[in-house]
Amino acid sequence: MHVRLNAVHKYYESPAGPVKVLENVTLHIPSGSFVSLMGPSGSGKTTLLNLIGCLDSPTFGQVILEDRDVANANEATRERIRLRHIGFVFQNYNLLPTLTVFENVVLPMQLASLRRSERDERAVMLLKAVGLDQRANQPVNSLSGGQQQRVAIARALANLPRLILADEPSGNLDGHATKEVMQVLKSINDTQKVTVVLVTHDPAVAAYAEQVYYLEGGRLASG
């Protein structure tokens, strides 16, 4: 999926008046590419990711996914795009801790009303891709952080999205687990041509991308 932001501005209202977070951000992310976004805490990285992910809307400007301006689409359309076409990976995994690995991966496919045989087959395929098929029936809270993040990646891929948005996916992981998680993301990008947009504070993680962008003072620069 290709992503284009045209002159995006984002302000939040506060008692002291509007707070400017993103100022005139224009960005093109080609289909199948892998880009990283860096910048100081509070610089608007999560805000930018949430705009692309249809979780939030800009104050002004366009957010174009393929050829559709999702910033100005209705909520039902945005919800459908989120479920069907975008996979999310978060710093704290956001898994359901008492469900099994398999159940967590199957969940988005149930929400998308996929047939049971197809969901089960796909969940096995995805768990193999992240190296966790042997763990399918364990509760996720019995896995390590790195393993849980790989379950989260399998879940993000459940409905075969064309875009993965990852917000500090290695923020809670040690060096070894970080490497495993990044290799999984890189390999999905390489083999399935899924576009990946990743936010990180770690330059070694950012370096997995073809292109690194920096946000500071509401402005975007490429490095």
Which sign, positive or negative, has the C-alpha torsion 184, 188, 190, 194? negative
**How many other C-beta atoms can be found within 10 angstroms of the C-beta atom of residue 182?**
22
Picked from Mg ion, ligand ATP, none, the partner binding residue 60 (CB below 5 to 8 A depending on kind) is none
Q: Which is nearer to Mg ion, 46 or 170 (CB)?
A: 46
**Applying CB under 5 A, does 104 fall inside the site for Mg ion?**
no
Interface size with Mg ion, residues (CB under 5 A): 1
Strand partners, 44: none
- At position 191, the amino acid (one-letter code) is T
SS3 state at 221: strand
Q: How far is the CB of 58 from ligand ATP (least distance, A)?
A: 13
Say which entry of Mg ion, ligand ATP, none residue 47 contacts (CB below 5 to 8 A, set by partner kind): ligand ATP
Considering beta carbons, is residue 45 or 162 the nearer one to ligand ATP? 45
Site residues (vs ligand ATP, CB under 6 A): 12, 19, 21, 39, 41-47
Residues 38-57 contacting Mg ion, CB under 5 A: 46
Beta bridge partners of 216: 219
In the beta sheet, which residues pair with residue 8?
Answer: 25
Cβ count near 115 (within 10 Å): 9
* Sites of contact with Mg ion (CB under 5 A): 46
